[in-house]
A and B are shown apart, each in its own frame.
Chain A
Amino acid sequence: QLVESGGGLVRPGGSLRLSCAASGFSFRNYYMSWFRQAPGKGLEWVSSITSSASTIYYADSVKGRFTVSRDNAKDSLYLQMIRLRVEDTALYYCARQQGASIAAVATGWFDPWGQGTLVTVSS
């Protein structure tokens, strides 16, 4: 299971840190990813991180503003978001990644997903 937390209302330019608590599987052995879905829009990939955090990829839309990290001792994934924009408003999901490799971090499938945490950026 995956449970996201940390969402909320923040003003443009502000910061927020999301957390994703994992249980029921060996978290340290899996790549993990963040996704989001803006209101009325489709699914969008945000970032992926390898099991040891040695390789991290970001979508161009968040590069330089978002930072993904993980604490394998705490079975937790994080997403630090700074310089937030109105267009970052979305439901943010974490998901376990399978089928990828160190040479192809963005491949594979995502299962399971958490229920999401809502981030609203508004003045």
Chain B
Amino acid sequence: SDELTQAPSVSVSPGQTARITCSGDALPKQYVYWYQKKPGQAPVLVIYKDSERPSGIPERFSGSSSGTMVTLTISGVVAEDEADYYCQSADSSSTYVVFGGGTKLTVL
């Protein structure tokens, strides 16, 4: 299957580390990208090509990959990080863009 699977929710306290995972059978062959989505705002790219951070994105955002799973790590979470996070990739034939179902990050 080329679907991407994310946990529906993750909760952390300010200052802690949040880890959001995304799994899929095609991931060993495809890069993964991560987007932050806040209500009423456009999605924002926070990680590209598994682990690269776009300019302007805080250093506390990082990405890693291992086999069929990729992880978005937010170190030292702050209140403004509360948002939905989506992983995105392509299917194994590079014909369809695929999103995970999204993970809601709650900062306690």
What residues of chain A have their CB less than 8 Å away from a CB belonging to chain B? 33, 42-45, 48, 57, 59, 93, 95, 99, 103-107, 109-116
In the bound complex, residues from chain A placing their C-beta under 8 Å from that of B108 are none
**Contact between B42 and A106, CB atoms less than 8 A apart:** no
In angstroms, Cα B43 to Cα A112, docked, is 8
In the bound complex, residues from chain A placing their C-beta under 8 Å from that of B44 are 111, 113
Q: A45-B99, A57-B96, A109-B33 are in contact. Are A114 and B42 (CB under 8 A)?
A: yes
What residues of chain B have their CB less than 8 Å away from a CB belonging to chain A? 30-31, 33, 35, 37, 41-45, 48-49, 54, 84, 86, 88, 90-91, 94-102
**Contact between B42 and A116, CB atoms less than 8 A apart:** yes
The 3 closest A-B pairs by CB, nearest first: A45-B97, A104-B94, A111-B45
Q: Find A43's partner among B86, B91, B95 (CB 8 Å cutoff).
A: B86
The dominant DSSP class at the A interface is: strand
In the bound complex, residues from chain A placing their C-beta under 8 Å from that of B54 are 111
**Contact between A42 and B86, CB atoms less than 8 A apart:** yes
In angstroms, Cα B48 to Cα A111, docked, is 10
In the bound complex, residues from chain B placing their C-beta under 8 Å from that of A110 are 33, 35, 43, 45, 88
Shortest Cβ distance from B31 into chain A, in angstroms? Answer: 7
Shortest Cβ distance from B24 into chain A, in angstroms? Answer: 14
Which of chain A's residues has its CB closest to B100's CB? A42
Which of chain A's residues has its CB closest to B98's CB? A45
Q: A42-B86, A42-B101, A107-B30 are in contact. Are A112 and B42 (CB under 8 A)?
A: yes
